[in-house]
Every structure is written in C-alpha cells, then in structure tokens.
C-alpha cells in the first residue's frame, strides 16, 4: 500500500451544539467523537495529525494517550484554513493524505480502506467522498456536470433553491496527493456566505489547474452522519448503540430487549450472560460469562462482574468487583467495593462510600450473607461467611470477623446485641416496677 497520513479537523467550536465544550469532545456511547475518528485512521494505517484550536485544552485531554500529532489552528477561519494549519506537521511529506472531520464519528475502517484503495487505483489529485441521503439539510451539495463529473461543492448556506434539492452530499472526507492539496489550498478565498476558507473549494481550483479529481459515492449513508447539533448527536448515539448491542448478541450475549438497553463502547460481556430490559452499562465494565443484569439496573465504570454473578432489579454498581456466583438481586448501591465469591447481598444493601470529601472501600468476603437494608459505612469489611441482620448499620472502620453475625444500629456482634436487648428489657421492667410501687404508696 502507498504511503498515507491523515489530517483530522477538530478545531471548530461547534456553534450549533450550544455547548461550553468543543463539539468533538462530546461523547457517542461513552467515547469522545474525535477518538472514533482517530481510531479509524489508525486502523486504516494512516497516522493522524489532529488540528485543534477552540477549547484545545479539552480536546488535548481526551486525545492525550493517542498515537497522533497535534497542529494548532489559532483562529477558526474554515475547514480549508484548518488543513493549512497542519502543513508544518506534514513538512516534506509527499505521499497521500486523507482528510477527516472530527465530527463524523461513525465511519468504519473497511470503508476508509475502500476509499484509500479507490484513490490509489486512479491516483488523482483528489478524491472526494460523497453519499446520497434523504435529508441533505446542512451538508455541502455535490454539483456535477452533464457527464456526471464532480465540478464543485456548494455549502448549504450558499446554495440556491435548486441546488438545495441535490441530495448527494459531501461527507467531509477527502483523499489527496499532498503536493496538489497544498498548492490548491493557497488559492482558495473566503468569498462566501460564511466568509470562511472552505476546504471543498480546492476541487474547482484543482480542475482549473488541469488536475484530475475523482469522486467515490459510498452506499452506507449512516456511517457518514455529521454531528453538528444535539439531535444529530442523539442519532449517532442511537446508531452506535444498536451496533454495540448487535456485536454482543453476535458474540453470544442475550439482550432481552435491545430497544431499552444502552451499553457503551468499552463494555465487555462474556457468553451466555443475559441483559434484561431498561439496563444501562456505562464506561469501562467487564462482565463475565453466565451473568445476569437487570431489569432496571445501572452498571457503571470500573465494575467487574465475575462468572455467574448477578445484579438484579434496580441495582447500581461502580468500581466494584462482584465475585463469582455472588448475587445482589434487588435495590442495591455497590460503590468502591470488593465482594468475594458466592456472597448474597440482601435487598436494599448500600455501600456508603462517600463522606462528602473522600471515597472509601467496602470489602465483603466469600460466602457472606448480607441482610436486607444493611448499610456499610466505608471503610469497613465483612469476613468470610459472616452475617448481618436486616437493617444493620456497619459503622466506619468496623471489621466483622469471619463467621460472625452482626445486628443493629450501630451493628454489634450478636451476643452483645442480645445482651443489650436483655438489658433494655430489664431497664423497662425496673421502670414499670418503680412506677407501680410509687402508685401503691398513694
């Protein structure tokens, strides 16, 4: 394969998002949009240079561990201007360049490889990637001549009523021969409705210079959805959500009701696990084989469910290991916990992990039986095969020994609890006795 580099445009504000954050850091199924684009270019073998500018500290934060170069576009004067900002980073590079938008997150590696191959076959100065869509609003329209050759792109804001009816759109993805691209960029002018340097304006410039321009029309329009506002963000999320669910189902996971299940990108689930309706699994989560989750549960980042464990109705977990065969079947919050094997977490158990300042850990060992409504005020622990009674409050720094049974509020060992109860009863009796003997004296 020929030499390829990628330029990813990610310097714009994204005015239509109406957000304090730059558009490309907004997430689709738990992953910032720009990271999808970086992944796809790396998967296709093109090392990316990412052009950042507006809110660059936010973008830098989400791309810091990526194998990519960074270029700065100080002022956002349009997509053509943004590509020019990458010129220094690609100094003396003479191969092919693929230009991608940080706000077109759904393209798949095989599509990008197809585009790169198509460009290599005919080796034109530029290949513009288009597709046909139902509602072309907001996109640049592809204008072709009588023979069907691409002449130019007209932006929505600049389009005539007739041009607005064209439903073949510019996906914002292009392949270029580097030298031809740099030369053409020098000639574009911000003479349009938005007074910006439009990248697609290089097409007529190249044609005028007698260069060869190709177009590839891609069939799967969904992959080329551009995210400009929150409605398109939700559309992209929904497309990805379905793809993620399909991937899990193909790998042997039962998703009882895909319509009401949301699983993010970084989640792993083992075969023969069952995910019941209205369940959200977000962040980095690992679920083993033969597990059950939901209905109505939220499994959050850092949760690790080992084989045959269960998180049932209305449970939430975060940064917690749920040991093999352990069950929390109803109404629990398990945060910052380590739970061993075959423990039973009673209905309504709470790991109170946060004291307003810091988070602390709760440890529950193998075979523990946690009574309904137990609250663990972390840090605290419960030994192997220990038991708590219903409603027990395990106070800070309590370490329940293996096999012990704790009751009450604050929870104490059973014998102490029984003695306390006995003492209370004695005191009650004493009070009554005194009261009645006083009455007798009257």
In the DSSP assignment, the letter for residue 219 is S
Q: Which residues are near Ca ion by CB under 5 A?
A: 103, 226, 228
Residue 307, classified by CB atoms within 10 Å of its CB into exposed (0-12), middle (13-18) or buried (19+), is middle
- Residue 82 binding partner per list ligand UD1, Ca ion, none, with a CB distance cut-off of 5 to 8 Å that depends on partner kind: ligand UD1
**CA distance linking residue 87 with residue 30, whole number of Å:** 32
Taking residues 227 to 266 in sequence order and writing x for each that binds ligand UD1 by CB under 6 A, - otherwise, the string is: -x--------------------------------------
What's the closest the beta carbon of residue 305 comes to ligand UD1, in angstroms? Answer: 37
Region 196-215 residues binding ligand UD1, contact defined as CB under 6 A: 198-200
Closest to ligand UD1 by CB, 83 vs 375, is 83
Residue 41 touches ligand UD1, criterion: CB under 6 A: no
Residue 49 touches ligand UD1, criterion: CB under 6 A: no
Residue 350 touches ligand UD1, criterion: CB under 6 A: no
| Backbone torsions φ then ψ of 339, nearest 5 degrees | -115, 130
Residue whose CB is nearest to Ca ion in the complex, by number: 226
Tokens of 68: 């990519």
**CA distance linking residue 385 with residue 406, whole number of Å:** 12
Residue among 171, 231, 170 at smallest CA distance from 17: 231
Helix ranges, 198-281 (H) = 202-208, 230-250
Taking residues 57 to 76 in sequence order and writing x for each that binds ligand UD1 by CB under 6 A, - otherwise, the string is: ----------------x--x
Q: Quick one: how far is CA 415 from the chain centroid?
A: 50
In contact, 366 and 340? CB cutoff 8 Å: yes
Give the list of residues 6+ apart from residue 220 with CB closer than 8 angstroms, or none.
111, 131
What's the closest the beta carbon of residue 17 comes to ligand UD1, in angstroms? Answer: 10
- Residue 76 binding partner per list ligand UD1, Ca ion, none, with a CB distance cut-off of 5 to 8 Å that depends on partner kind: ligand UD1
330 included as an active-site residue: yes
In the DSSP assignment, the letter for residue 301 is T
Active-site residue identified among 58, 290, 330, 369: 330
| Interacting residue ranges for ligand UD1, rule: CB under 6 A | 9-12, 23-24, 51, 73, 76-79, 81-82, 101-104, 139-140, 153, 155, 169-172, 198-200, 226, 228
List, by residue number, the catalytic residues: 330
């Amino acid at each position: 394969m020929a030499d390829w580099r990628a330029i990813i445009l990610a310097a714009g504000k994204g005015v239509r998002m109406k957000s304090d954050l730059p558009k490309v850091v907004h997430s689709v199924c738990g992953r910032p949009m720009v990271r999808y684009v970086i992944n796809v270019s790396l998967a296709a073998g093109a090392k990316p240079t990412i052009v950042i500018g507006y809110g660059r500290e936010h973008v830098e934060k989400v791309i810091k561990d990526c194998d990519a170069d960074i270029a700065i576009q100080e002022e956002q004067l349009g997509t053509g201007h943004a590509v020019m900002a990458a010129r220094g980073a690609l100094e003396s590079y003479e191969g092919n360049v693929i230009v991608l938008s940080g706000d077109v997150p759904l393209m798949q590696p095989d599509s990008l490889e197809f585009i790169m191959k198509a460009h290599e076959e005919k080796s034109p100065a530029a290949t513009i990637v288009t597709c046909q869509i139902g509602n072309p609003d907001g996109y640049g329209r592809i204008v072709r001549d009588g023979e069907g050759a691409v002449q130019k792109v007209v932006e929505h804001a600049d389009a005539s009523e007739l041009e607005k009816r064209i439903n073949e759109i510019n996906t914002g993805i292009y392949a270029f021969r580097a030298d031809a691209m740099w030369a053409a960029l020098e000639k574009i002018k911000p003479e349009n409705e938005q007074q910006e340097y439009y990248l697609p304006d290089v097409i007529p410039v190249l044609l005028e210079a007698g260069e060869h321009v190709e177009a590839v029309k891609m069939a799967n329009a969904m992959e080329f959805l551009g995210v400009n506002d929150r409605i398109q963000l939700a559309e992209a999320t929904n497309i990805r959500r379905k793809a993620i669910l399909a991937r899990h189902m193909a790998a042997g996971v039962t998703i009882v009701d895909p319509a009401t299940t949301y699983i993010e990108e970084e989640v792993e689930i083992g075969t023969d696990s069952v995910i019941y309706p209205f369940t959200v699994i977000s962040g980095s989560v690992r679920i083993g084989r033969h597990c059950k989750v939901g209905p109505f549960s939220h499994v959050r980042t850092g949760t690790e469910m080992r084989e045959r464990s269960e998180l049932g109705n209305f449970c939430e977990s975060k940064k917690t290991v749920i040991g093999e065969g352990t069950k929390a079947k109803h109404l629990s919050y398990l945060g910052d916990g380590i739970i061993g094997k075959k423990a039973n977490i009673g209905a309504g158990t709470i790991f109170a992990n946060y004291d307003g300042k810091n988070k602390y850990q709760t440890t529950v060992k193998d075979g523990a039986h946690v009574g309904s409504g137990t609250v663990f005020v972390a840090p605290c622990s419960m030994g192997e095969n220990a038991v708590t009674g219903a409603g027990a409050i395990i106070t800070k720094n309590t370490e329940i020994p293996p096999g012990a049974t704790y009751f009450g509020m604050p929870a104490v060992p059973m014998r102490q609890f029984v003695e306390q109860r006995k003492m209370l009863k004695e005191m009650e009796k004493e009070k009554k006795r005194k009261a009645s003997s006083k009455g007798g004296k009257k």
